[in-house]
């Protein structure tokens, strides 16, 4: 059995270099054994991203915890042959069917702010502007979570006093 999914698929005439979609994981070991088959999802203003990735692998025993919390970059080639990158964090992983040669993995990818849903907070920000309140929360999360800190920066360059 092949340990590298790209080698196995190349033998079938499928190469990653000629595809319109490609995935890269921060866990580099996954890059060699996972092949992106399909992407479904939404990207909405003030709602972030929520993507479902259907991936194939020649390994049927990849521990799902290797996916969870992993940063992901999905490159999509548009109609002008330009690469658009969508990045996020794997928040859910499921293993699907396997025929003995290939196994399906379904991954949910969300933007790093999806981590905020897991926290409860009931404070009141008195005498603070909205920007100051966002800065306080953002800095707290950056200090508490290395994953969050490495995934996002707070860019205030486009803001005005109005």
CATH code: domain of residue 19: 2.30.110.50
For residue 24, the enclosing domain spans 5-111
Split at pLDDT 50, 70, 90, the class of 37 is very high
Mean residue pLDDT across the chain: 84
pLDDT in tens, 80-137: 989 999 999 999 999 999 888 889 999 999 988 777 776 665 566 667 788 888 888 8
Q: What are phi and psi of 133, to 5 degrees?
A: -65, -40
Structural domain contains residue 161 = no
pLDDT reported for residue 18: 67
- Both 100 and 136 in one domain: the answer is no
pLDDT reported for residue 152: 80
pLDDT reported for residue 119: 65
Residue 75, exposed/middle/buried by CB under 10 A (0-12, 13-18, 19+)? Answer: middle
Structural domain contains residue 64 = yes
pLDDT reported for residue 101: 86
- Both 38 and 57 in one domain: the answer is yes
Residue 43: closest CA among 93, 84, 92, 82:
84
- Both 21 and 43 in one domain: the answer is yes
Determine the Cα–Cα distance for residues 130 and 134; give it in Å rounded to an integer. 6
């Amino acid at each position: 059995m092949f340990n590298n999914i790209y080698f196995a698929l190349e033998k079938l005439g499928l190469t990653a270099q000629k595809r319109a979609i490609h995935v890269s994981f921060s866990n580099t070991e996954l890059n060699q054994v996972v092949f992106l088959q399909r992407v479904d999802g939404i990207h909405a203003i003030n709602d972030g991203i929520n993507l479902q990735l259907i991936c194939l692998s020649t390994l049927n025993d990849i521990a799902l915890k290797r996916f969870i919390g992993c940063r992901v970059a999905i490159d999509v080639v548009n109609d002008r042959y330009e690469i658009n990158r969508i990045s996020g964090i794997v928040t859910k992983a499921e293993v699907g069917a396997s025929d003995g040669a290939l196994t399906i993995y379904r991954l949910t990818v969300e933007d790093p702010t999806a981590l905020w849903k897991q926290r409860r907070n009931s404070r009141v920000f008195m005498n603070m502007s909205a920007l100051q309140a966002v800065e306080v929360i953002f800095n707290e999360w950056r200090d508490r979570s290395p994953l969050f800190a490495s995934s996002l920066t707070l860019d205030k360059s486009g803001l005005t006093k109005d």
